[in-house]
């Protein structure tokens, strides 16, 4: 299956190169965030199209992955439309001058392509298996649906909050955001652990290697581009957020903590 796996990598490489060219015209490297989910699910759909036979498990994985990717791509595109380059990428641009336009090809885009390819790992053993659906598959499908809806609800609640002029300067601590500071990230991680469950439901322990996908996604969202990056200096920029941190779990949903001093 190595040839099929490399075909998935070729898809991610093609998409990020095209996005890199668009970023040169737009002067906006953060375009990569919009195609990130399409890179991942696109690799999965390449596997689905090249593997012999389309099993119910493969179809479920294709549908779940596509639903996750399309929703996230549309949400990020709508959220960032007209706002220019994200400040995180502006900082990367400033640190890597001169010639950042070329450097971004490997510092940002090539890196994203490889990471997306790794994250797509569960699709390959899961879609290749002809084993009938079992308990792990049902658990994985249920968890993936939960994660997609949890993430979507969190994003929708934040979008409504930001669109309300009365919310300016306030901290979002309503709905799912009352119980976790990052319901979108929690939902996303659920999706990738779910797809791994489906993969081993089909391939058994021979597909256990694909655990690299949820482990990588969890690490990225907790320690790299997610929680750690977003909250690195937010307490200094927004003092009210310190109180929110003191009473609300960072990732796993949980009860609000009382009588905490920031």
pLDDT digits over 118-136, tens only?
999 999 999 999 999 999 9
Q: Is the pLDDT of residue 35 over 80?
A: yes
Q: Is the pLDDT of residue 214 over 90?
A: yes
**Mean predicted confidence (pLDDT) in 152-168:** 92
Q: What pTM, to 2 d.p., does this model score?
A: 0.91
What's the pLDDT tens digit per position in 83-117?
888 888 888 899 999 999 899 999 999 999 999 99
Cβ of 199: how many Cβ atoms within 10 Å?
31
Instruction: With cut-offs at 50, 70 and 90, classify the pLDDT of residue 236.
Output: low
Instruction: With cut-offs at 50, 70 and 90, classify the pLDDT of residue 262.
Output: very low
CB 200 within 8 A of CB 106: no
Looking at residue 254, its pLDDT comes to 94
Q: Is the pLDDT of residue 261 over 70?
A: no
CB 243 within 8 A of CB 262: yes
**Mean predicted confidence (pLDDT) in 205-221:** 95
Cβ partners under 8 Å of residue 124, min gap 6 = 1, 4, 5, 8, 47, 199, 210
């Amino acid at each position: 299956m190595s040839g099929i796996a490399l075909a998935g990598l070729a898809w991610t490489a093609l998409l990020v190169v095209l996005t890199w060219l668009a970023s040169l015209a737009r002067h906006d490297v953060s375009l990569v965030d919009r195609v990130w989910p399409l890179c991942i699910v696109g690799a999965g759909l390449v596997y689905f199209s090249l593997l012999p036979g389309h099993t119910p498990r493969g179809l479920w994985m294709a549908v779940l992955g596509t639903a996750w990717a399309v929703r996230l791509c549309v949400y990020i595109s709508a959220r960032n439309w007209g706002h220019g380059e994200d400040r995180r990428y502006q900082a990367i641009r400033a640190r890597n001058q001169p010639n950042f336009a070329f450097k971004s090809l490997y510092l940002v885009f090539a890196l994203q392509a490889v990471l997306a390819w790794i994250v797509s790992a569960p699709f390959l053993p899961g879609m290749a298996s002809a084993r009938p659906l079992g308990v792990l598959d049902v658990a994985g499908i249920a968890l993936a649906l939960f994660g997609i809806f949890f993430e979507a609800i969190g994003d929708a609640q934040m979008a409504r909050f930001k669109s309300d002029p009365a919310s300016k300067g306030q901290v979002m601590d309503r709905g799912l955001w009352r119980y976790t500071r990052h319901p979108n990230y929690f939902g996303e991680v659920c999706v990738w652990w779910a797809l791994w469950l489906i993969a081993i439901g089909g391939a058994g322990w021979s597909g256990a290697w694909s655990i690299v996908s949820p482990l990588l996604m969890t690490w990225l969202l907790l320690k790299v581009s997610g929680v750690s990056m977003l909250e690195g200096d937010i307490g200094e920029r927004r003092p009210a957020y310190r109180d929110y941190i003191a009473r609300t779990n960072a990732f796993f949903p949980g009860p609000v903590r009382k009588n905490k001093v920031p």
